[in-house]
Amino acid sequence: MGHLVEKVSDHLFLLVGNNPLPNFIAAHRLAKQESFLHLIYTDQTHQYALNLQDLFTSVLHFDHSHINLKRLETPTDQSGIHTCLDQYLKSNVLSEGSVGLNYTGGMKPMSVHIYEFLKDWCVQNRRPFIHSYIDPIYYSIRFSHGMKYPIDISECQVSMENLLSLHNRIMTSVKSEVLFPIFSKEIALFVSDPVNMNNLRNWCDKYVRTACPKELKNYLKPLLEEVKLDSNNQTLDLNEIIERMKRWITKESIGIKTEIIPNQDDDLTNLVQIETIGQIGLTLLKCDQIPNEEIHSWKIKNIGDSLRRFLDSNWLENYVFDCLQQISEDCKIHEIKRNIYIKNADPKKQSRDFEFDVAAVQGYRLYAFSCSTSMDRGLVKVKLFEAFSRAQQMGGDEARVALVSGYPQPDDLLEEINESWMASRNKIKVFGPQDFSNLCNKFKKWFNS
């Protein structure tokens, strides 16, 4: 085990690849405030180099004059790379001190050729030469002769905003508070029995998804305006509405005043359906007294859709979010978000927008969670693959991904994914209904591993 202070360089060369996060970590841990940073990039990675330059000055507080960018014509031609670096060092005379190379970024030929040149240059100029690599599996910085330095995640924190900015992405919509945590937890505990999960899915398909948003809005509007969600609201108690929901889900029935079985009377069923779902919504809004911008975003014009989405599936995202909040201190999680919509910062660039259901950052490690109440293996596998691809794109090899879904055979699905995607064993996790009752502890074990 080495002492990192001995490995800090006066001149740190960074190879900019498609994953700029290791460059940020290297600058954070391997350079002093007065050090000079030299970013070597190609045409394909120029924007990443510019993004890094911005973060080095705004977040790490390096002097702009201490950051130099050098373009390579090609990342594979040894002669061209050596000539380019020779000209660069002749025109930018390096002040005295050690020279470091972190070769985590960049293509393999580029890393090899730059290492060869800098090593020889340092020998000729009698400079100490320190080369390093950031290990994404063991979360450490590796040096020559087997020396390594574990990275304490609390020493190198990156915000979600900065992590995305490395890729020229921004968050256009995001939630930072849990919505209806008591209700979400109770439903999660109830469906931890896969039989109940199946019943809930059927109940939502029959009653929640088919409820007309306009009729829900018309039912709720006068009640919301009348009671203004105050404590005198004549709605059912939260525990009572939860217990009734459990009974309705089990029997696949619905009804506040009288339970209606499907196909008894279509008109009557529709009326009871709107009243029931509307009363659930009113009860939730009355009982959640915590100031929360999400509640206020349930405006009258879209409250029907908002309520349907929450009852159908969004309760699971909120339960996951709540579990992460509970373990955040023990696991050194410094940021948690949900419903994160992400797009390119440059509106002129044609790129696909995407969303993370829930995401957390632990140090510089991104955790992305894909949440679904579906029990369909194919559907949840597609959702996991998309989350995995996006997390790798934004968080690099250091990123981790989890699927939290209604699929009842999570271990079997995880085994298939690890084999077909060739992912490391701890990079991906799959949680099913049977995990819901102990989800906080399972998350904690994963984050601390």
List pLDDT tens digits, range 127-151. Answer: 999 999 999 888 899 998 889 999 9
List pLDDT tens digits, range 199-247. Answer: 999 999 999 999 999 999 988 888 776 555 454 444 568 888 899 999 9
List pLDDT tens digits, range 19-46. Answer: 999 999 999 999 999 999 999 999 999 9
Q: How many CB atoms lie within 10 A of CB 322?
A: 21
Q: Which DSSP symbol is given to 234?
A: -
Q: How many CB atoms lie within 10 A of CB 251?
A: 12
- What is the average pLDDT score of the chain? 90
* Paired tokens of 185: 């937890």
- Please name the residue ranges forming H helices in 289-376: 293-296, 303-309, 315-327
Report the pLDDT value the prediction gives residue 24, as an integer from 0 to 100.
Answer: 96
Which is more confidently placed, 414 or 264? 414
| Residue in the block written with tokens 């459990």 | 246
| Angstrom distance (rounded) from CA 31 to CA 12 | 7
3-state secondary structure of 76: coil
Report the pLDDT value the prediction gives residue 223, as an integer from 0 to 100.
Answer: 75
Strand partners, 102: 14, 132
What CATH number belongs to 315-447?
3.40.1350.10
- Please name the residue ranges forming H helices in 191-265: 194-203, 213-227, 238-251
Report the pLDDT value the prediction gives residue 3, as an integer from 0 to 100.
Answer: 53
| Angstrom distance (rounded) from CA 221 to CA 299 | 10
List pLDDT tens digits, range 344-365. Answer: 998 888 788 999 999 999 999 9
Report the pLDDT value the prediction gives residue 107, as an integer from 0 to 100.
Answer: 80
DSSP-assigned states of every residue in 30-66: HEEEEEEEEEEE-GGGHHHHHHHHHHHHHTS---GGG
Q: Region 63-67: what's the mean pLDDT?
A: 97
CA R_g for the chain: 27
Report the pLDDT value the prediction gives residue 1, as an integer from 0 to 100.
Answer: 39
Strand partners, 400: 367
CATH T-level topology, domain 4-151: Rossmann fold (3.40.50)
- Looking at the chain, the number of H-run helices and the number of E-run strands are 16, 13
| Angstrom distance (rounded) from CA 360 to CA 379 | 24
List pLDDT tens digits, range 83-115. Answer: 999 999 998 878 889 999 999 987 889 999 999
SS3 content of the chain, % helix, strand, coil (to 5): 50, 20, 30
Give yes or no for residue 260 having a pLDDT over 70. no
pTM of the model: 0.92
Query: Angle, to 10 degrees, between the axis of helix 181-190 and the axis of helix 315-327?
Result: 100
Residue 418, judged by CB atoms within 10 A of its CB (0-12, 13-18, 19+), counts as middle
Which is more confidently placed, 153 or 370? 370
Query: Quick one: pLDDT band at residue 283, thresholds 50, 70, 90?
Result: confident
| Angstrom distance (rounded) from CA 356 to CA 338 | 7
Strand partners, 362: 365
Q: Indicate the pairing of strand 354-362 with strand 335-344.
A: antiparallel
CB distance 317 to 358 below 8 Å: yes
Report the pLDDT value the prediction gives residue 92, as an integer from 0 to 100.
Answer: 82
List pLDDT tens digits, range 383-395. Answer: 999 999 999 999 9
Query: Quick one: pLDDT band at residue 419, thresholds 50, 70, 90?
Result: confident
Structural domain boundaries in the chain:
4-151, 181-311, 315-447
| Residue in the block written with tokens 């699929």 | 407
* Paired tokens of 248: 């309705």
| Residue in the block written with tokens 């929901």 | 245
